[in-house]
Amino acid sequence: MVTHMVLFKLHDPTPANVQATRDLLAAMPEHIPQLRYIEIGANAVHSDRSYDVALVTRFDSWADLDTYRNHPHHLNVVSAHLQRVLATSAVVDWETA
């Protein structure tokens, strides 16, 4: 199993922008069958080090993660939204047992 975690810092982390981002991410399993698990969280403790939204996804293989990254829904819908609202992000990918 491969885990893909992304932290998102939004330009304008209003509740509406955070919720819109969460909703868009939560809809991904409807469009991307390789996505086996998804968890999305909004930051609750705001500090200088905080990010606004966290995404944890899991895939059966590295190939499935690559398919997800290049999926038209991910590229044309999710990434397009993130390009408009994102200040920065951080990503970690790892293999789990």
Q: What is the pLDDT of residues 44-83, one digit of tens each?
A: 998 989 999 999 999 999 999 999 999 999 999 999 999 9
Q: Where residue 97 falls among pLDDT bands split at 50, 70, 90?
A: confident
Percent of the chain with pLDDT over 70: 100
Q: Which helix (H) or strand (E) holds 21?
A: helix 15-26
The rounded mean pLDDT for the chain is 96
Q: Look at residue 56 in the predicted model and tell me its pLDDT.
A: 98
Asked if residue 22 has pLDDT above 90, the reply is: yes
Local structure of residue 28 (DSSP, 8 states): G
Distance CA 28, CA 55 (A): 11
In this prediction the pTM is: 0.93
Task: Evaluate the CA torsion angle 12, 13, 19, 23 in order and state its sign.
Answer: positive
Pick the CATH number of 2-91 from 3.30.2350.10, 3.30.70.580, 3.30.70.100, 3.40.50.620: 3.30.70.100
Asked if 76 and 28 count as a contact pair (C-beta separation under 8 A), the reply is no
Report residue 77 as tokens: 């819908």
- What's the confidence (pLDDT) of residue 46? 87
* Residues 6+ away with beta carbon under 8 Å from 7: 51, 53, 54, 55, 89, 90, 91
